A and B are shown apart, each in its own frame.
Chain A
Amino acid sequence: MRLARILALALLAALFVYPLARLLALPLLQGSDVGPCLPALANSAFFALLVGCIAAPLGAILAQALETLDGAVLRLLGLGLWLLFLTPGYVLTTGWLVIMSHPAIRDGLFGQVFLGPTGLVFLYLMKSLPFAVFVARATFAAAGAQLGEAALVLGLTRWRRWLLRLRLALPAMAAAFTIAAIETMQEFGIPATLGLTAKIPILTYAIYQRLNTTPTDFAGAAALCWWLIGSAAVLALLQAAVQRRHQAALVHGRARQAMRAKPAALARMSLAGVASLLWGLGLGAPLLALIIVALGGPMDADGLDAVPRSLFYGMLAATLALGTGAFVLKLQQGRSLWFTGAVQGLLAANMAVPGLILGAGYVIAFNNDLLPLYGTVLLLIIAYAAGALPIAIRLLGTALGQLDAKLDEAARIFALPRVTRLIDIEAALLARPGLQAWLLVVAAVMFELPISELLYVPGAMPLGVAIVSADMMASYAVAARLALLGLATLAGLALLLNGALRLSAAPRPRQVS
């Protein structure tokens, strides 16, 4: 077991520590002039803070509404947030580019405003709002009914009760602010697709440009990566400070879930307004534009091979990530504190590093005599899997943690073979959460952009690269077809596998002899 743990740690180190160390050491060894990129840092920081400031209170309000109120509008709002979360930012941006390709719209006031910082902030906000809401929901889900009841018993005014709720929401808002700001700071697809980076330099795109355009500057890119990591660290420290100052103990033995109420007329109207905005401007307008442009024009199979290619990449990377995740989690089940600590540390560090930096590390680390993997499908799939590993472990860990260890002990007592224990007991019990985690990783890899841009094999474009390339050539019909076909393929795969799972788990009639 000890040897297996050492091997697992060595694997994680090879996947994360080695490439990142190779990349991040470059500016320390070679030096780099990043002065010209200061505007990119300033712009990215400004947008991150602005989006964080909007998303945090809005996310907290929506989270509270979703946890305490009931009704069709709330369900619509929740579904809209999930769809926004799952739709890649650059696909939504492509939809808006299609809308803006109409001269009357683009040259009008709306177009002029949208194709500038306002549009960038809007798209960033659409992508980071679901994160802010999901993070804040946890706080409100844990808040029992007693606080509100106590306030009513004490006869506090509505204004005072609102202030109390605001204070209760402060840690949640701090977390929502942090995650929204970090997501915005690390977002690559939206600025890369919207095409404003010439006018408004953005940090992630500046890193990409140093790696993938002429002349290449690895040390410069690595120096900018330090900035990106540093800004995430500062934001995380800020959140920690707020939570330390305003922490609230909400979960206790007597906690009682508050009854969900129907929203009052004004609240219902406000929530309906937000839901309409999310569904109309966030999802409806860009997706409808994609559908219209995809159906128009001559139908050809231009670049459609990117869809099955990325689907297969996603399947392999998801299997690799979940397989490695399950292996690591199994090793964690022992009582080895050093192993658990090391794994958690590595995974937390990797979660803070965006795909762009991981991809850049792989370019440098695996392009030598010892490991000449750069430019191969194998490296691309390993990088996808490494990027997805933290989330795979989080998703699997929750499900695995609910399996009682006595199940395995009982199976051993009955001398069931290892294969039976693994497949008929553990896999059967983990099938549903395992499938959802697998599908989530397949979807994330299929539409992944920064790692794909840096590591794809020439002549074999992944889906994200193909969509953004089509955008850059203003071939919106091709981009739209690729995006919609990719989404439809994923939906089909999810339906098929969930259906198969349901069928396999359905009770069978007992045969009577």
Chain B
Amino acid sequence: MRKAIAGAFAAFIAIVAVFMLWPSPAPGLVLYSGLDYGPAIAAAFTKETGIKVTVVRLATGSLLARIAAQGQHPDWALAWFDGATAATALDDAGLLARNLPAPQNLTPTGQSLVSKDGAYIPTGFTLAGVFISDPARLQTPPASWQDLTAPAFRNQVGMNDPSISGPTYPALAGMLDQAGGWPQGQDFVTALKANGLQMFDKNDATLAALQAQAISLAMVQSSAAVYFAANHPGLRVTIPTPAYMLPNVMVEAAGLPARQRAEAERFMAFIMRPDIQKLRQAQGEADGYYWPVTSDAPVPLPGLPDLATLKIVTLDPVAWGRLESTINGWFAKVMSGA
């Protein structure tokens, strides 16, 4: 009897071990996606081409940290996320393939976003930091970044932590840029902190704080703000002047075998097709609210303002990408009051 029990227990543990540790069949292209539409687009690609794509959905900050931690032993083939500055930092570390084929039919804006060494391709763009506020608590929203230091916004404003939320570093870089660049813009950020700026982990947490009335104004990525406002009527989105462009980009791991590289290039072309961009808009939840960078793409989703009415600035991804570590470290120090 005891032997039977011991045998049954051993067999059960062996089955669990086989079940958990059995190597998964060839994963095909492994896509690290920081964007909501990644899984839907991968499924559509597999359906059309038969090429298997395994999608790993991660927050952008964790995605970038994973890529950095894996270093020269990547278990990913493609990564899709917001932020050319982050892509530049990965490229500087030698982790990305270069000379990726630029998308067809790029608009002039799209062409301006193409990486010089082909380390990433632009697949659309959002704005790095816009204001979403509750009119019931904040009657007059700020129009510019400088307005945020006014006493009316004391203890009312929240933003994401750039070390966790990948798309937030470009917003922080934008704030510094409009205040004179680095390091001249430090005074502006310090003044924001002195005016009670609060920090949360990422878009969802900052917007949850707005909804819970812990803050009255959230500085988040435009896609998150517009999507949130669409689902929470009564909230107001304001685009600051200037607004900073945040391209969503795709990168490829360095050193992929030739066959995988060819499949990756097919995927890159696939995601820029007009019908697939429509799918990105439909299946992307918040991330579907992006402005396309190809001339044959569908129009942006309703709720996104006309670009002609906005003053948009593009940051130099190389210069600001190289400052990311320094600036994030400095910002953490400012926010912790050290």
Q: List chain A positions with a Cβ less than 8 A from chain B.
A: 36, 38-40, 101, 103, 106-107, 195, 198-201, 209, 211-217, 312-313, 315-316, 319, 363, 367-369, 372, 374-375, 377-378, 381, 419, 423-424, 427-428, 458-459, 472-474, 500, 504
Contact = CB atoms under 8 A, between A and B. Distances in A.
A474 B324 CA distance: 28
Given A103-B212, A316-B17, A198 B161 contact: yes
Contact of B70 (A36, A103, A212, A367): A367
8 A-B pairs closest in CB distance: A474-B208, A458-B56, A213-B163, A198-B199, A473-B204, A39-B338, A215-B325, A216-B68
A209 B20 contact: no
B21 interface: yes
A308 to B, nearest CB: 10
Given A36-B333, A377-B20, 7 more contacts: A214-B324, A215-B68, A315-B13, A316-B16, A369-B73, A375-B75, A474-B208
A374 B324 contact: no
Given A213-B65, A375-B70, A198 B335 contact: yes
Contacts of B337: 39, 199
15 contacts: A107-B213, A198-B335, A209-B332, A212-B65, A213-B61, A214-B68, A313-B20, A316-B17, A367-B70, A372-B73, A375-B75, A459-B54, A472-B205, A473-B208, A500-B5
A381 B20 contact: yes
B1 interface: yes
Contacts of B20: 312-313, 316, 377, 381
Interface string B72-109: 01010000000000100100000000000000000000
A212 B69 CA distance: 8
B64 interface: yes
B6 A427 contact: yes
B57 interface: yes
Q: Is the interface of A mostly helix, strand, loop or mixed?
A: helix
Nearest to A472: B201
B328 interface: yes
A424 B2 contact: yes
Contacts of A374: 69-70, 73
A204 B212 CA distance: 28
Interface string B12-56: 010011011100000000001000000000000000000000111
Given A214-B166, A214-B328, A316-B17, A201 B205 contact: no
A101 B208 CA distance: 10
Interface in B188-245: 198-202, 204-205, 208-209, 212-214
B66 interface: yes
A185 B82 CA distance: 36
A488 B17 CA distance: 23
